Amino acid sequence: MTNQKCTQFCFAKGLPYAGTEYSSQCFCGSQLATGGVEAAAADCSMACGGNGTQPCGGPNRLTLWKSSQVTGPSVNPGTGNWTSIGCYS
């Protein structure tokens, strides 16, 4: 798994949120889960299985991305079509 593969997969499903967890898992959604809060960036320090230079979450932590091309809750725009919005639990 890589962050790029996960974000592409979620975008193809029309979902604005993509998150990688525990090095190899990808999750998609239309909104943040109730109770989801930002966590320390160090909590998302597990390397992606498909690219060891990228962080892919951690145990019960998502490296979370939001697409600006899919309609959903608004966030500040970032570079390109995806914005990293941090580490979430």
Question: Which segments in the chain show pLDDT lower than 50?
Answer: 72-75
Determine the pLDDT at residue 88: 87
pLDDT at residue 71, as a whole number: 58
Counting residues of the chain whose pLDDT is more than 70, the rounded percentage is: 88
Residue 79: burial class (beta carbons within 10 Å; 0-12, 13-18, 19+):
exposed
What are the pLDDT digits (tens) for 61-85? Answer: 999 999 988 754 444 555 567 778 8
